[in-house]
Amino acid sequence: MTTIEIGSETQELAGKRALVTGGTRGIGAAVVRRLLDAGAEVLTTARSATGTVPEGAAFVAADVRTRAGAEALAATAQEVLGEVDVLVHNAGGAQPHQGALSIPDEEWQDALDLNFLASVRLDSLLAPGMRERRSGAIVHVSSAAVPSAAPPFLHYVTAKAALESYSRGLASELAPSGIRVNTVSPGRTATPGGEATREQWARLNAAPGRTNADDTAPLGRDGQPDDIAHAVLFLVSGRASWLTGSNIVVDGGEFSRS
């Protein structure tokens, strides 16, 4: 008889070294906790320590929106961890506007730098080490809202759409070296930052007859940070060893409705 121990996978990342961007609150903090629970050594980062760094993780303040910031973070990661086996790009976000034509140039650039180019730059600095070791897992956090192309967030979803295309291409390039690259696309998730952004969006797009039910996913609730974190943990674990170039949408069916 086979005995299955509940939680027996908790140390499946033992010996792995992980870097998680945007890991002090919300989805990022949940990802950090799941990786720590799985036995990984974790370094996380944000622009400032305004959130709560999960216990057991190392933290460094970094701004990944610039090449210099990415280079400094990569150097610190190699100093603290030695090497990086798991790279999770969670940092992201943008402020909503009245419509696409009201988004100023500087916010378009900031959205591209934070939600797309930050991943490109950090990958270019850390993936070569993975390639030398012929092993590694990279996860890009996108958004389930990409297909909707909502005008108030067009700068954000455009950057995330670019991230998804880039992720598929990078997966194809790095697969022969044993490196897996995948994307997770969260839907509406209950985080303080997400709620504040949705409130701004609602004020900009107030519509007669709008109800709370309009924002409810078919599964009947908002996502929780752990819902996303479990998907990330799966993708970086050995359980996903034959999965690369994929995009896992975790949205409770929110964007499956016609």
Percent of the chain whose pLDDT exceeds 90 = 75
Q: pLDDT class for 139, splitting at 50, 70, 90?
A: very high
Q: Is the pTM of this model over 0.85?
A: yes
166 in catalytic set: no
- Beta-carbon contacts of 182 under 8 Å, excluding residues fewer than 6 positions away, are 137, 138, 139, 140, 167, 171, 235, 240, 243, 244, 245, 246, 247, 248
Query: What pLDDT, on a 0 to 100 scale, did the predictor assign at position 193?
Result: 66
DSSP string spanning 225-254? HHHHHHHHHHHHSGGGTT--S-EEEESTTG
Instruction: Tell me: pLDDT of 217 over 80.
Output: yes
Instruction: Tell me: pLDDT of 246 over 90.
Output: yes
- Among 156, 187, 232, 249, the one annotated catalytic: 156
Tens-place pLDDT, residues 100-123: 999 999 999 999 999 999 999 999
Query: What pLDDT, on a 0 to 100 scale, did the predictor assign at position 213?
Result: 40
Query: What pLDDT, on a 0 to 100 scale, did the predictor assign at position 84?
Result: 98
Tens-place pLDDT, residues 36-77: 999 999 999 998 876 689 999 999 999 999 999 999 999 999
Please report, as a single letter, which amino acid is at residue 242. Answer: W
Percent of the chain whose pLDDT exceeds 70 = 85
Tens-place pLDDT, residues 194-212: 666 666 656 666 543 333 4
What is the separation of C-alpha 165 from the centre of its chain, rounded to a whole number of angstroms? Answer: 15
DSSP string spanning 43-84? EEEESSTTS-PPTT-EEEE--TTSHHHHHHHHHHHHHHHSS-
Select the more confidently predicted residue: 214 or 89.
89
Highest mean pLDDT among 91-95, 139-143, 222-226: 139-143
Using CA atoms, how far residue 168 sits from 113, 116, 182, 194, in Å, is 19, 13, 7, 26
